[in-house]
Amino acid sequence: MNSRSSDIADLFADASGGDRAALARLLSLIERGGDDARTVGQLVFPKTGNGYVVGITGAPGAGKSTLTSALIAHIRSLKQEVSVLAIDPSSPFTGGAILGDRIRMQNHATDKGVFIRSMATRGHLGGLSLAASEAVRLLDAVGSMWTLVETVGVGQIEVEIARNADTVVVVVNPGWGDSVQANKAGLLEIADVFVINKADRPGVDQTRRDLEQMLELSDFTESAWRPTIVSTVGTTGEGADALWNAIEEHRTHTQNDGSLAKRRDQRLRNELRVIIERRLEHRAREICKGDRWEAIQNELLDRTRDPWSAADEMLRGISA
Amino acid sequence: MNSRSSDIADLFADASGGDRAALARLLSLIERGGDDARTVGQLVFPKTGNGYVVGITGAPGAGKSTLTSALIAHIRSLKQEVSVLAIDPSSPFTGGAILGDRIRMQNHATDKGVFIRSMATRGHLGGLSLAASEAVRLLDAVGSMWTLVETVGVGQIEVEIARNADTVVVVVNPGWGDSVQANKAGLLEIADVFVINKADRPGVDQTRRDLEQMLELSDFTESAWRPTIVSTVGTTGEGADALWNAIEEHRTHTQNDGSLAKRRDQRLRNELRVIIERRLEHRAREICKGDRWEAIQNELLDRTRDPWSAADEMLRGISA
């Protein structure tokens, strides 16, 4: 272990002992990627598997942050601790404050039983999904029993991140059926619990009927979990208890029928595949630059070399 | 040269002499991919660069096939020959008929000066773009002076294929501004010529103003080509001559200012990059299967191995 690795091991020991500054530094290393992120990931990996992860996703404006804040309050009223990872691929801010960096969660900023962190990235969206998985594992490894992962948008990356949870909560609003078409199918497919948030507005019953109708069209086996539908008002906290109960029911169900373990295994397998793909992509980017790349491109443009033999030549001797 | 390669060389010689059955067989080899496609590509590559390629894209229902048919009639009235490649990634049919396989183009089915071919694929969408480039080059190499590439949808793949043309024609309809939002930005970005087709319907002037307004927001340099806007009625052929003139103007402009050569070079460079990426992806798929893959996954699930060292292990000794 070199000195850098032993610094990281110290940070991890401190974070495991409850040092939030150390935890924040480790999360920043994960966010930045590279060798340090790998060192963190390797330290953390064997200690994981105890925490439970709830993904919260839905269209922008559905009130996810407010609902998450209400959920935090409910979890705290049960005397349990909770971590929140807010993922925003479109935000230009990376790294960032540990606590209170999201205005709607300010109420919890001074609560030692709540840890809130934003993750974002300017580019490399594929990388954010891996970074989010590593961040969730770090929180798990330092003893977070409940981690809420809130994604801001409903794009492919956000859905991919949200579905990497043990329970996936999809937040909709009354009238949702008519308005938001964006990636609706993707959201329906991943939901374990539907929340009709802003349920103080008209149209809740219709939205519930719409969701139930869509669920009836799905082909659930007898023993499989059938997504539940809960109504909430995030701003008042109404329904946060019912939402938490629905999450607990889903957890119990999937623990008992073995589907939680299967889902977690599948998640790890997928992650390995993604890591391998990313490495090969990185290798492709490394290959496609420099003098040799320029020379071969020129041969291609002169038509003294065809594209396939040019690719052969560039790939010759690569070991990834 | 093995016997298979010499068969392909014979087919290419026949196709170059005007044998359409030979040409069709070569196109099928390209569509199928693999070693034979590569052999065709390598034979063809040095003979290319004489033909001119027009991409025609736009939302489904915009009347692209009818317009293409009208354009064929106009080109034939000028006593020139033309090839048409109709690309439909969503079609379950691959391979396919040489002539008259598209109902709206039946009029040209018996015209020896017109060659029409559909290309489709069930999966591997990334591969269709490469296959389309190779098909276009084959047509070029056997002497097609004009190749029209019509894409059916406006998804990312279709836009990618259409933009691989020397002149890109984007087909819209009156009222387009309000209705079709799908990938509008992508279409605006690639258009060299806009066609307002179905111009016998109301709203042509408004659509033209909308397009002009959008073009004004774009930042064209003084000498750069500024996309032209043409109105047509595909069903009657009205405006096909104006469209052809606009294409010819674009061709002359880009030949004179050197941007055609630059665009073609850039296209080849991109293609090489895509070939390298595809090879590495293929390699990743090859890696992620088999007994070794299962064994390493099991170590991962047992947490006796972390994802990064699992990836290292799978990638060890790969040469791509």
Shared domain for B175 and B236, answered yes or no, is yes
What's the pLDDT score for residue A99? 33
Task: Give, for B70, the enclosing helix (H) or strand (E).
Answer: helix B64-77
Shared domain for A154 and A178, answered yes or no, is yes
CATH of the domain at B192: 3.40.50.300
Handedness of CA B181, B185, B186, B190 (dihedral sign): positive
The Cα of A79 is separated from the nearest Cα of chain B by a number of Å equal to: 31
- Label residue A214 exposed, middle or buried (CB < 10 Å: 0-12, 13-18, 19+): middle
Contact yes or no for A319 and B318 at CB 8 A: yes
pLDDT above 80 (res B146)? yes
Q: What is the ipTM of this complex?
A: 0.78
- Tell me which residue in B272, B307, B314 faces A300 most closely, judged by beta carbons: B272
- Tell me which residue in B38, B277, B297 faces A284 most closely, judged by beta carbons: B277
E strands in chain B: 52-58, 82-88, 114-120, 146-151, 167-172, 193-196, 228-231
What's the pLDDT score for residue A179? 47
Shared domain for B191 and B311, answered yes or no, is no
Shared domain for A227 and A254, answered yes or no, is yes
Residue of B nearest to A133 (CA): B307
B35 located within any domain? no
Question: If pLDDT is split at 50, 70 and 90, which confidence band does A318 have?
Answer: low
Question: If pLDDT is split at 50, 70 and 90, which confidence band does A101 have?
Answer: very low
Give B277's contacts in chain A (Cβ within 8 Å).
281, 284
Instruction: Report how many domains make up chain B.
Output: 2
Residue B274's alpha-carbon distances to A278, A308, B188, in angstroms, are 15, 11, 24
Contact yes or no for A306 and B45 at CB 8 A: yes
A26 located within any domain? no
Contact yes or no for A280 and B283 at CB 8 A: yes
Among B45, B41, B47, CA closest to B8? B41
Average the pLDDT over A47-53 and give the result: 94
Question: If pLDDT is split at 50, 70 and 90, which confidence band does B151 have?
Answer: confident
Shared domain for A295 and A254, answered yes or no, is no
Shared domain for A188 and A305, answered yes or no, is no
Question: Three-state DSSP class for A255?
Answer: helix
In this structure, what are the phi and psi dihedrals at residue A89, rounded to the nearest 5 degrees?
A: -60, -25
Among A41, A31, A26, A159, CA closest to A94? A31
Q: Any idea which residue has 């066609």 for tokens?
A: B195
Contact yes or no for A281 and B283 at CB 8 A: no
pLDDT above 50 (res A282)? yes
B17 located within any domain? no
Shared domain for B82 and B223, answered yes or no, is yes
Contact yes or no for A281 and B280 at CB 8 A: yes
Shared domain for B68 and B194, answered yes or no, is yes
Lowest mean pLDDT segment, chosen from A209-223, A233-247, B53-67, B70-84: A209-223
Give B280's contacts in chain A (Cβ within 8 Å).
280-281, 283-284, 315, 320
Contact yes or no for B283 and A279 at CB 8 A: no
What's the pLDDT score for residue B97? 36
Shared domain for B134 and B170, answered yes or no, is yes
What's the pLDDT score for residue B96? 38
Q: Which residues of A143-181 are buried (b: 16+ CB within 10 A; e: fewer)?
A: ebebbbbbbbbbbebbbbbbbbbbbbbbbbbbbbbeebe
- State pLDDT tens for residues B118-136: 887 544 444 778 889 999 9
- For A163, which DSSP code? H
- State pLDDT tens for residues A125-180: 447 788 899 999 999 999 999 999 998 766 777 778 888 999 999 999 998 655 44
pLDDT above 90 (res B193)? yes
- Which residue would you say has higher pLDDT here, A91 or A27? A27
- Please count the helices (runs of H) and the strands (runs of E) in chain A: 13, 7
The Cα of A129 is separated from the nearest Cα of chain B by a number of Å equal to: 14
Shared domain for B78 and B129, answered yes or no, is yes
Average the pLDDT over B165-172 and give the result: 95
The Cα of A308 is separated from the nearest Cα of chain B by a number of Å equal to: 7
In this structure, what are the phi and psi dihedrals at residue B119, rounded to the nearest 5 degrees?
A: -130, 140
pLDDT above 80 (res A109)? no
The Cα of A318 is separated from the nearest Cα of chain B by a number of Å equal to: 5
Domain with B282, as residue range(s), is: 274-315
What's the pLDDT score for residue A313? 87
Shared domain for B83 and B199, answered yes or no, is yes
Average the pLDDT over A36-57 and give the result: 93
Residue of B nearest to A311 (CA): B276
Average the pLDDT over B157-184 and give the result: 78
- For A100, which DSSP code? S
The Cα of A250 is separated from the nearest Cα of chain B by a number of Å equal to: 23
Q: Which two three-digit tokens encode residue A54?
A: 């709830």
- Which residue would you say has higher pLDDT here, B66 or B124? B66
Contact yes or no for A306 and B46 at CB 8 A: yes
Question: If pLDDT is split at 50, 70 and 90, which confidence band does B232 have?
Answer: very high
B223 located within any domain? yes
- State pLDDT tens for residues A234-260: 999 999 999 999 999 999 999 999 999
Q: Which two three-digit tokens encode residue B160?
A: 């990618």
B118 located within any domain? yes
Shared domain for A167 and A286, answered yes or no, is no
B41 located within any domain? no
- Which residue would you say has higher pLDDT here, B141 or B3? B141
What's the pLDDT score for residue B320? 43
Give A285's contacts in chain B (Cβ within 8 Å).
none
Highest-confidence segment of A286-300, B145-159, B246-260? B246-260
